[in-house]
A and B are shown apart, each in its own frame.
Chain A
Amino acid sequence: MNYLRTISAVVKKDLLHELKSREIVVSMLLFSVLTVVVFSFIFEPGSEFKNRVVGGILWMSVIFAGLLGLNKSMMSEVDGGNFSALMLAPVDRSAIFFGKAISNFLFMTIVEAITIPLFMVLYNVNIFNTGFLPLVVFFLGTYGFAILGTLFSIISVNTRTREVMLPLLLLPVMVPVILASVQALNIYVLGNDVVESYKWLKLLAVFDIIFTVVVFAVFDFIVED
């Protein structure tokens, strides 16, 4: 019970902070929409070819915006010494970690909720052609991204180069999530049989479960001081 209370306290703190400053979500949102617009220059607008690549474009804009947001969210913790204070609190440290991960997840979800409809209008595609499975893809993919992204952002802001390290560490490890999400989205956009996408959904779920357990196991060890 205490564990869940700690998580919700951290999430509440982050949401309150974000509600006052609006720095993270607004910069992420601008960036993801900008990526969507800039990517439209790589092919003839309105060509049929676009249906094969839009899934990738949408997902990459979310990933890039996520990298930006993760750095921002963790920098504000470290700069004011807030993170050290959280670590000194007499609570389970992994609860603090999952609190941070959930708030990062929520920030990304807000950004997606605005980017996806805008994207569908700008590219004239309907990713919900075959039902609401794309929401499952975004849920599982964003969770996987948030859980490892939060851990790597803690590591990254503690280096001399600060935010530079995060994409270098996170992107290669995220390959299964990126690949599975993009492949699944492509299936929905092209209107193929949704059964083909189940293996990708399973892969995302397995990734999420494995790394939730791994992070839970190692987090206490790596922030010891």
Chain B
Amino acid sequence: MKIQKILDIFAVLMVCVALYFAFIFAPSEKVMGAIQRIFYFHVSSAWIAFFAFFVTFVFSILFLIKQNYLFDDIAESSAEIGILFCTIVLITGPIWAKPAWGVWWTWDPRLTTTTILWFIYAGYLMLRKFIDEPDKRARFASAVGIIGFIDVPIVFFSIRWWRTIHPNVVQEGGGGLHPDMTKALLISVFAFTVLYAALLLKRTHIASLTRKIDSLEG
């Protein structure tokens, strides 16, 4: 209980700090202007989405090995948070792309991979809703959680061979980011990570309570 409260307060504080860094501290981009500031939250959300799905992957494997339902709860909770942030990525992306590239959408590898990622985990969450037996649900969902995550890099490479135009800002050597922009980005990523931890703790708590109630009713 206590650790949840501390994390909550810390997450709120960190998000406020990140807002300050993104909107006031970081300099305006020369060509794109204010619209570029969406980048800090876009990249942070993308990082959380991938990280959350990685957590689902790891806990799916752990569940299959240890058969501990807490691991299944964590995998489910993380996938749900992941899809939330994945949705944020897919919304903030086009908002930036329209003024920067002139189009809302393009079939670039990262955009397309993120979309496919969204569909894989939307399927994962739907699957969970459609199986009533908890043990079957956990085992089948784990299989999808594992296969889905392994598939992501293959999807990415296949689409990269097909086409690419996405800007590569975080390559070796910084790729032309102003030092203050890098600071703002790092703080934003950190803030989102804390937020993710707070959400995961809460969501997992709810999932295990739900499981308890279901087993009492059953």
Residue positions of A touching B, CB distance < 8 A: 148, 151-152, 155, 158-161, 165, 168-169, 171-173, 175-176, 179-180, 183, 199-200, 203, 206-207, 210-211, 214-215, 218, 221-225
In angstroms, how far is the closest chain B Cβ from the Cβ of A153? 12
Interchain CB contact under 8 A, B131 and A159: yes
Q: Which of A165, A168, A169, A215 has the most CB of B within 10 A?
A: A169
A-B pair number, CB within 8 angstroms:
90
Interface contact A176-B140, CB-CB below 8 Å? no
Task: Tell me whether A203 and B157 are in contact (CB under 8 A).
Answer: yes
Q: How far is the CA of A173 from the CA of B120 in the complex (A)?
A: 7
Q: Determine if A214 and B147 form an interchain contact, defined as CB atoms under 8 angstroms apart.
A: yes
A155/B158 in contact, CB under 8 A? no
Tell whether, in the assembled complex, residue A160 and residue B140 are in contact, meaning their CB atoms are under 8 Å apart. no
* Closest Cβ neighbor of B117 among chain A residues: A172
Contacting pair A176 B126 (CB below 8 A): no
B154 interface contact, C-beta 8 A: yes
- Chain B residue nearest to A171 (CB atoms) is B119
**Contact string against A for B residues 100-131, beta-carbon threshold 8 Å, 1 for contact and 0 otherwise:** 00000000000000001001101110110011
Known: A159-B130, A161-B130, A165-B126. A222 touches B151 (CB 8 A): no
Chain B residues lying within 8 Å of A169, measured Cβ to Cβ, are 123-124, 127, 144
**B139 CB within 8 Å of chain A:** yes
B147 contacts A203, C-beta separation under 8 Å: no
